[in-house]
Chain A
Amino acid sequence: MEASTVLQSLISGLTLGCIYAALGLGLFVVYGVTRVLNLAQGEFVMLGGMLTVSFCSMGVPLLGAIILAVIVTIISGAALYVLVIKPARNASGSTLAFLTVGFAYAIEGITLLVWGWEYHSLTNFLGSSSIHLWGATIFGQAPWVVGMTVLMVVGLYLFFGRTMVGKALRACADEPLGARSVGISVEKMALLSFVLAAGLGAVAGATITPLTMTAYNVGVPLTIKGLLAAFLGGIHRAEGVIVGGLLVGFAEALSAGLMPTGYHDAIALGLLLVVFLARPQGLLPARGEAG
């Protein structure tokens, strides 16, 4: 086995891991506040990518296109909460999760009608080009993807830790009844969590599209990878989601590079199975749980 293959697999794993972590963060934000598993998170990523491609092709500069894409995706996130989740908010967690699946398929169908079935791509941000390093290649867009995930983590950390709204969100997550009794509107916070998740998804979608391409049907596989990341690391903590995402990414890339046959998804799923058997709550302990 060549050293360059190992290095290439590690680079690939880091990039994939950051994509999956970004997906997981969207799931974490909604689950943390509302205890709803939002299985439409991948659709937000898909929408972000497709809309950015569309706005760019209309001649909008990249940054403007991304902002517009985020706005439209946020509206769809708000729609998911207001039209689907809120009317059924007293239903069980699994019912709500299934409702998000229905919403995901609706988004997928509308996208198919509007954009057709073709794949779309974007050029690398600011035309960044590949870097060659000891026989391995770092694609021009990869640093943007890694940077995006780092920014999301830092941004969420500051938001939840330093702002009043962020603290209110955390209060809803920890103790909804107590939050309500001190005057926090749990409904508004739930809406905010869906909006935040949609925004994070849209930014991720725009950033990964130059690397991965996008089409109406990429949402579901992305959601599955995000779920893997979230459950592997532990969906109760942002750190858990990041660790989970990176683990899935590295497992996938290393198995692709170092194992003779395919079925790389089976490796990631197998990993999840092992972790679930040993630690059903995920690798990292939930807050308050003895570690």
Chain B
Amino acid sequence: MRKLGLILSCLALLAVGAAGCASGGGDTYRVGYLASQTGPYAALGLASTEGAQLAVKQINDAGGINGKLVELILIDDKGTATDSALGAQKLVEVEGVLTLASATATALSHSVIPVLNENKTPGLIISGTGLIMDQLGAWTFKPSSCEFDYIPLPLKYLRDDMGATTIAAMIENSGYGEGGEHYLSPIAEDMGMEVIETQHFDPAATDMTPQLANVKSSGADSMIIWGSGPAGALAIKQAREMGIMIPIATTPAQSSLRYYESFADFYEMDPAPACLDNKPTIWPQLDDSDPDKAMCQKFEEDFQAEYGRVPGIYEAIGTSFIWFIADALERADPDLGDLENARSQLRDAYEQTENLSLIIGTYTMSPDDHYGRVVPKEVLVSFKDGEKVLVRTHYD
């Protein structure tokens, strides 16, 4: 009797499995999504996942694309490069997705590139560095930002608004810091400025006073803090505590409200540090003529209605990736009967993306340019009387 029960339950499981496969068959666009659901980057991965799920829901609620629904197949990259690569492999070979996106962190997304190119599957990566540009290959697209796009913004602020000509750079010891250091000096030179001092700090550093003492004695008349973690915010506090009162510009991590709340007194010391940030967090202060204002507002309202909270930049990236894929799917209208050919058609459509305006940038791709970010959309913000205030956009 027990044996019969066992056999029956096995059969039932098989039937469920078969039904699952059938529903994932030829009438939906299967899109893989690799993002941390657990692990050290879970906060980022979960945020980008919710942004992506919102876009998929909006697309499907409106009847899908070319009459077909979009099915998002989510895999946890667990915050490691190995799991990212394995997850991509599974999406491509087992799940048979048309395309995929790796949307948690720069280093994780780099490990997906060889999987995409070897399996001739088009995919998007979240990488935030330009150092990877010549390794994207024929099948990888990078509709995210590169340092050379946004470095001019803080430099313009330091040069034009604060009258600085020399820069001391505080650089995090990480891949992110490496990219910043690589691009900072040549761009500064092009803009008539000079990086006269470069100091490094560990991402988990708690005391940067020795490096800041060197910044102080260098005589630089401005400072750039380049970091992705708490140490960059701590550097702002410690610099001001040491009496280093030169203008400071920073990368986006330092604009986090949590850091501001921890160090409000130091963030508001004149001149208040100017941090790179993105339009969705500051859209009410954008000029009415800014075409992105309405887009950011709609995204925030839609997201709030769905999840009951205000979205951040990772949610915006997740949503933008899905809209980027949707735009190409609509144009390609791939034949799902032949997966290999469909992937190739979609790749070609990605390359033909033209003037696609998303929250994170406007994109025009080509076979030679898988980055194609023709309009960068970063902003520079600061803090005053407890509020985040807009300092500059790329157009100012």
A262 in contact with B202 given A137-B242, A215-B230, A257-B213 (CB within 8 Å): yes
How distant is B207 from chain A, measured CB to nearest CB, in Å? Answer: 5
Per-residue contact bits, chain A 101-119, to B (CB 8 Å; 1 contact, 0 not): 0000000000000001111
What are the residues of chain A within 8 A of B258 when measuring CB–CB? 118-119
Would you give the shortest CB distance from A21 to chain B, in whole angstroms?
15
B234 pairs with A213, CB closer than 8 A:
yes
CB distance from B241 to the nearest CB of A (A): 5
Residue B217 contacts which of A2, A12, A253, A261 (CB distance < 8 angstroms)?
A2
A219 nearest CB across to chain B (Å): 11
Contact present for B243 and A253 (CB under 8 Å):
no
Cβ-closest chain A residue relative to B261? A121
Query: Contact between B210 and A117 (Cβ–Cβ < 8 Å)?
Result: no
Q: How far is the CA of A208 from the CA of B238 in the complex (A)?
A: 14
Task: Flag if B209 contacts A11 (CB, 8 Å).
Answer: yes
Q: Which of A11, A117, A120, A261 contacts B262 (CB 8 A)?
A: A120
- Given A5-B214, A262-B201, A217–B230 Cβ distance below 8 Å? no
In the complex, which of the residues B43, B207, B234, B243 has the most CB atoms of chain A within 10 Å of its own CB atom?
A: B207
Which residue of the partner chain, among B43, B205, B210, B263, contacts A8 with CB atoms under 8 Å? B210
A136 an interface residue at 8 Å Cβ cutoff?
A: yes
Contact residues in A for B204 (Cβ distance below 8 Å): 218, 221
Any A CB within 8 A of the CB of B200: yes
Contact B209 A8 (CB under 8 A): yes
Does A185 lie at the interface of the complex (its beta carbon under 8 Å from any beta carbon of B)? no
Chain B residues with CB under 8 Å of A257's CB are 210-211, 213-214
Q: Kindly identify which residue among B230, B241, B242, B243 contacts A119, using a CB–CB cutoff of 8 Å.
A: B230
Assembled-state Cα–Cα distance A10/B258 (Å): 31
Q: Which residues 259-279 in B have Cβ within 8 Å of A in the complex? A: 259, 262-263
Q: Find out whether the CB atom of A263 lies under 8 angstroms from the CB atom of B210.
A: no
Q: Check B230 against A253 for contact (C-beta < 8 Å).
A: no
Considering only CB atoms, which chain A residue lies closest to B204 in the complex? A221
Closest-CB distance, A14 to chain B (whole angstroms): 10
Q: In the assembled complex, which residues on chain A have CB atoms less than 8 Å from the CB atom of B173?
A: 262-263
**CB of B216 within 8 A of chain A?**
yes
* A 117-164 contacts with B by CB, 8 A: 117-121, 130, 132, 135-137, 139-140
Q: Are B210 and A132 within 8 A (Cβ)?
A: no
B contact patch SS: helix
* Neighbouring A residues of B200 by C-beta, 8 Å: 261-263
Contacts of B42 in A (CB 8 A): 117
CB-CB under 8 A from B82, the residues of chain A are none
CA distance A2 to B230 in the complex (A): 28
Instruction: List chain B residues, Cβ under 8 A from A2.
Output: 213-214, 217
B216 A4 Cβ-Cβ under 8 A: yes
* CB < 8 Å A-B pair total: 94
- Residue A73 CB within 8 A of the other chain: no
B201 and A254 contacting across the interface, CB-CB below 8 Å = no
* Identity of the chain B residue whose Cβ is nearest the Cβ of A259 in the assembled complex: B200
B40 touches A (CB below 8 Å): yes
Q: Which residues of B contact A8 (CB under 8 A)?
A: 209-210, 212-213
Q: A137-B241, A139-B238 are contacts. A12–B210 as well, Cβ < 8 Å?
A: yes
Say yes or no: is B208 at the interface (Cβ < 8 Å to chain A).
yes
**Interface assignment of A84: CB less than 8 Å from any CB of chain B:** no
Which of A19, A116, A135 has the most B CB atoms < 10 Å from its CB? A135
A269: Cβ under 8 A from any B Cβ: no
**B304 contacts partner chain A, Cβ-Cβ < 8 Å:** no
Of residues 71 to 102 in A, which have CB atoms within 8 Å of B's CB atoms?
Answer: none
In chain B, positions 182-240 with a C-beta closer than 8 Å to chain A are 198, 200-202, 204-214, 216-217, 230, 233-234, 238
Choose among A130, A140, A211 the residue that contacts B207 (Cβ–Cβ < 8 A). Answer: A211
State which of B208, B211, B213, B262 has its C-beta within 8 Å of the C-beta of A213: B262
Residues of chain A with a CB closer than 8 A to B263's CB: 121
List, in ascending order, chain B residues with CB within 8 A of A117's CB. Answer: 42-43
Chain A residues in 8 Å Cβ range of B233: 119
Q: What's the minimum C-beta distance from A270 to chain B, rounded to whole angstroms?
A: 15
The answer to whether residues A212 and B241 also contact, given A5-B214, A136-B213 and a CB cut-off of 8 A, is no
Chain B hits for A139, CB < 8 A: 209, 238, 241
Asked if residues A9 and B213 are in contact (CB atoms below 8 Å), the reply is yes
The listed residue with most B CB atoms (<10 A of its CB), out of A19, A212, A213, A265, is A213
Contact B234 A12 (CB under 8 A): no
Minimum C-beta distance from A224 to chain B (A): 10
Which one of B202, B205, B210, B241 contacts A254 once the chains associate, using CB atoms below 8 Å? B210
CA of A212 to CA of B204, assembled, Å: 9
Convert A1-37 into 0s and 1s, putting 1 for each residue whose CB lies closer than 8 angstroms to a CB of B. Answer: 0101100110110011001000000000000000000
Query: Is A62 interfacial (CB 8 A cutoff)?
Result: no
Chain A, residue nearest B215 (CB): A5
**Bound Cα distance A212, B230 (Å):** 9
Pair B243/A256 contact, Cβ less than 8 Å: no
A264 touches B202 (CB 8 A): yes
Distance of A245 Cα from B40 Cα, bound (Å): 28
Which B-chain residue is minimally distant from A2 (CB atoms)?
B217
* A253 contacts B210, C-beta separation under 8 Å: yes
**Complex Cα–Cα for A122 and B212 (A):** 22
Cross-chain contact of A137 among B43, B198, B217, B243 (Cβ < 8 A): B243
Best-buried of B200, B209, B210, B212 by chain A (most CB within 10 Å)? B210
* Residues from 197 to 230 in A contacting B, C-beta threshold 8 Å: 208, 211-213, 215, 217-218, 221
Distance, CA A209 to CA B191, complexed state (A): 40
Report whether A213 and B207 are in contact in the complex, using a CB–CB cutoff of 8 Å. no
**B residues within 8 A CB of A135?**
213, 216-217
A253's contact among B207, B214, B216, by CB below 8 Å, is which? Answer: B207
Nearest first, the 6 A-B pairs at minimum CB distance are A257-B210, A262-B200, A212-B206, A8-B213, A262-B173, A121-B262
Interface pairs (16), CB distance under 8 Å: A2-B214, A4-B217, A5-B217, A8-B213, A117-B42, A121-B262, A130-B241, A136-B209, A137-B209, A137-B242, A139-B209, A211-B207, A213-B262, A253-B207, A256-B211, A262-B202
Binding site for B on A (CB under 8 A): 2, 4-5, 8-9, 11-12, 15-16, 19, 116-121, 130, 132, 135-137, 139-140, 208, 211-213, 215, 217-218, 221, 253-254, 256-258, 260-265
